[in-house]
Structure 1
Amino acid sequence: MKRHLGKHEFADKVMENRKRFYCIAYSYVKNEQDALDIISEATCKGLLHLKELDKAEHLVTWMTRIIVNTSIDFIRKNSRTAALPEDSKGYPDDADLRNSQAEEPEREALMDLYNAMDILDPEERTCIVLRYFEAYNFREIAEMLKMPESTVKSRTYRALEKMKQHMTGG
């Protein structure tokens, strides 16, 4: 028998993972308000379709897929690149990074990495974010995105190569 998550359990799980979800949305739109709107819309979608969730323990993976899809839909609907505030390079932990005690070269390297992600198409960025920022393995990403594992691997490696070329100026 399937055990469905209740609305309160769903809300608790979403709150527990709100920073992770926000980071995923923000990595696409690079705008705080848009990321919050995406999280809100994705949460509504998740709540509306909660009975479709096979197992309660898959909620985070399931919601991540909804957030990724909602982010991509948002970008398509708005068909624009999100404008960045003057003091932002575009990723959620920039303020923490600027205020940290990190060495200047380390900070610059991270900013270069984030800027290199801007050249990726949404599918490639999804693979990079899920693999390296959210620490999912290739199999989990493939299940989440409903595509073959080999496709996830090739997109990830292609994205890494694009980023490397961008960062080395080649």
Structure 2
Amino acid sequence: MSQHLSKKQFAQHMENNKAKFYRLAFCYVKNEHDALEIISEATYKGFINLGKLENPEFFDTWMSRIIINCAYDLLKKQKKYEFIVPDDTLPAREEDLSVDDRLDLYQALNTLQPDERTLIILKYFEDRSFREIAETLKLPESTVKTRLYRIIGKLKSAVSV
């Protein structure tokens, strides 16, 4: 028999992960207001559908998927698909890049589709494993790897042009 989270446990998990969830939302919309709107909507949807979470140990993955879907919904509504990552979520390697290289990286990320950006964000900015990404996106792990390597190739081409 599966164990479900209580309302109190849901609230505690949300509190414990609020910074991580906010960063995830912010990566899509690049502003505090919209990121908070996404988190609010995702929290509501998560709370309403709490009974559908069959395994509490996958709470982070489950909520990440809800946040990503809410971000997509907001972006579709606003027709905003440009992408700039906030400085505090950039990988440490980014410090080694010159200003020109950073601008090239941001421009390259702007060329990606939202689903491609999701893979990059989850892998390199959220530091998720291939398995965690696969669980979050409900894709086979091999598909995640293949798509990610294809996207990296696409980014390398865009940066080297």
* Runs (5+) with no aligned partner, structure 1: 83-88
Partner of 1:61: 61
Give 1 or 2: higher helix fraction: 2
Distance 2:55 2:131 in 1: 18
Unaligned runs of 5+ in 2: none
Stretches (4+) displaced over 4 A = 109-112
| Residue of structure 2 in register with 1:125 after alignment | 117
Partners of 1:26 and 1:114 in 2: CA distance: 15
Contact 1:21 1:64 in 2 (8 A): yes
Query: Does 2:87 align with 1:93?
Result: yes
How many Å apart are 1:62 and its aligned residue? 0.6
2:132 match: 140
Q: Is the 8 A contact 1:21 1:67 kept in 2?
A: yes
- Deviation, structure 1 residue 138: 1.6
- The structure-2 alpha-carbon separation of the partners of 1:7 and 1:93, relative to structure 1 and needing over 3 Å to count, comes to farther
Matches within 5 A, 1:1-150: 1-81=1-81, 90-94=84-88, 106=97, 108=99, 109-110=101-102, 112-150=104-142
Is the CA contact (8 Å cut-off) linking 2:5 and 2:50 kept in structure 1?
yes
CA 1:107 to 1:54, structure 2 compared with 1: closer, same or farther past 3 Å? Answer: farther
Contact 2:61-2:135 within 8 A present in 1 as well: no
Larger displacement relative to structure 2 (54-63 or 108-117) = 108-117
Question: Match for 2:154: what amino acid?
Answer: K
Q: Secondary structure at the match of 1:46?
A: helix
Write out per-residue CA displacement over residues 111-162 of structure 1, whole angstroms, 9 at most, x where no aligned residue. 5434432221111111111111112222221121112223212221122112
Q: TM-score, normalised by structure 1?
A: 0.80
Matched positions, count: 157
Q: Give the share of equivalent positions with the same residue, in percent.
A: 48
Moved more, 52-61 or 37-46: 52-61
CA RMSD of aligned residues (A): 2.4
